């Protein structure tokens, strides 16, 4: 009788669990020794979740809004296009960008765990990792977007949900808002939100 082999998915899950356990242990040790406080750890997580990472993604989006040739390259090979701007690395080796249009709205999830394009979006928010979001956004995306995020999608717009994995991480190219024709890349980037690149929220207005 042969012993069962481990699937790639099982191996990835164990690896992720081991990394998470090590990070938690290191965090606990730093706090216990007084090197860091819980508040400092929370603030660092907040910075990478809401500020550093999403700002890079916003730069990519603004470039795509203002440069049709770059947008074409981004949709064809997101990782390579981001690398043109010096953006890439761990958790961003293979990224795919899906474009919102007048007739299609995209949202991303990782139903298996919490795979997420860190180089452009920073750390995943807690709700992205929650089982409730991971299960419901696939089954009833319109309801989740409207009720959980206050972001209703018109009935005549198709909603597509993309399931990320450790091999392939999706993110969204939101539509450029109206009335921004005279704005430069820096001003446009300021309108791009993390949630708009996940597909659960709108971009800002000028």
Question: Which residues are part of the catalytic machinery?
Answer: 110, 113-115
CA–chain centroid gap for 202, Å, is: 14
Assess contact for 96 and 126: CB atoms under 8 A: no
Residue 177 · residue 165 · CB < 8 Å: no
125 DSSP 8-state letter: P
User: Whole-angstrom Cα distance, residue 116 to residue 75?
Assistant: 17
H or E, element range at 172:
strand 169-173
- For the chain, how many residues are written? 206
């Amino acid at each position: 009788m042969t012993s069962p082999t481990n699937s790639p998915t099982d191996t990835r899950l164990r690896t992720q669990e081991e990394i998470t356990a090590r990070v938690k242990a290191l965090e606990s040790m730093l706090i216990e020794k007084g090197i860091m406080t819980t508040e400092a750890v929370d603030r660092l997580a907040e910075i990478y979740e809401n500020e550093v990472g999403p700002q890079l993604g916003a730069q990519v989006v603004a470039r795509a809004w203002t440069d049709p040739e770059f947008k074409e390259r981004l949709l064809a090979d997101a990782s390579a296009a981001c690398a043109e701007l010096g953006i890439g690395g761990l958790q961003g080796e293979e990224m795919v960008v899906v474009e919102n249009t007048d007739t299609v709205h995209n949202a991303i999830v990782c139903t298996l765990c919490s795979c997420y394009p860190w180089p452009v979006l920073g750390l995943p928010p807690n709700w992205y990792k929650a089982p409730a979001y991971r299960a419901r956004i696939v089954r009833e995306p319109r309801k989740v977007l409207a009720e959980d995020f206050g972001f209703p999608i018109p009935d005549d717009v198709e909603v597509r949900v993309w399931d990320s994995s450790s091999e392939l991480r999706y993110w969204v190219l939101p539509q450029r808002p109206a009335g921004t024709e005279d704005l430069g890349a820096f001003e446009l980037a300021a309108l791009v939100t993390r949630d708009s690149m996940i597909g659960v929220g709108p971009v800002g207005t000028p």
